Amino acid sequence: MPALPPAELHRLHFINAFFARVTGHDLYLAQQIKDGIAFSLAELEEQMRTHPEFAEKFDTAFNAAAASLLGKFFAAEPRHGFFHWDASRTVTSATPLFARAELMTGLKQLTPFTESTLLVTNLRPALLPADRRATPRRQRDYESALDYVRDLAAARTARTAELHLLFL
């Protein structure tokens, strides 16, 4: 089997990690899930072949489709809570004030569960946009936001609960 391009390998490991309960860490099954998601985005993938600059758009769509599928998977498990926070949903979502409000909403929804997953997507693109230079200040803001989300989740989760915090 030929070596996968770095972007494909990244997606495969992402799917394998997120869907470990389904795949049992079997890369073949993870590849099947990845291919299914990519098939649902076939038109966008075709556009990406003719326009390589669409790669970021494809990655965003792939991540959104995978997050949606992950949400459906956890919805079928009544004992496992799931909340997806998209930091780029609005222009202000990634700012500390709005991030706190949106994350607190999610953490409150996860309170009744002893095991839950909090999926955080697009935090990096929201604070370090691809079309702008990654200045030291933007890097610091991003690192600070990561710490903020981790600390808030740790402070607002019961000691007896198991929270899986996933950043994508």
Tens-place pLDDT, residues 5-27: 777 787 888 788 878 877 888 88
Write out the DSSP string of 106-163.
Answer: HHHHHTT-SEEEEEEESHHHHHS-TTS---HHHHHHHHHHHHHHHHHHHHTS-TTSEE
The answer to whether the Cα torsion of 38, 41, 45, 51 is positive or negative is negative
The verdict on 91 and 71 lying in the same domain is no
In this prediction, residue 23 carries a pLDDT of: 81
Token pair in block for residue 61 = 């769509």
The verdict on 63 and 146 lying in the same domain is no
62-71, 76-85, 102-111, 159-168: least confident range: 62-71
Whether 52 and 71 have beta carbons less than 8 Å apart is answered as no
Nearest to 88 by CA among 63, 115, 114, 53: 63
The verdict on 71 and 92 lying in the same domain is no
For residue 119, the enclosing domain spans 77-168
Mean of pLDDT over the chain? 84
In this prediction, residue 2 carries a pLDDT of: 66
Mean pLDDT of 51-75: 78
In this prediction, residue 35 carries a pLDDT of: 85
The verdict on 51 and 83 lying in the same domain is no
The verdict on 154 and 114 lying in the same domain is yes
Give me the number of domains the chain comprises: 2
Work out the pLDDT band at 91, boundaries 50, 70, 90. Answer: confident
In this prediction, residue 1 carries a pLDDT of: 53
Three-state SS for 41-95 is: CHHHHHHHHHCHHHHHHHHHHHHHHHHHHHHHHHHCCCCEEEEEEECCCCCCCCC
Domain end point (choices 58, 76, 94) = 76
The verdict on 134 and 97 lying in the same domain is yes
The verdict on 154 and 109 lying in the same domain is yes
Cα–Cα distance, 21 to 121 (Å, whole number) = 20
The verdict on 62 and 41 lying in the same domain is yes
The verdict on 59 and 82 lying in the same domain is no
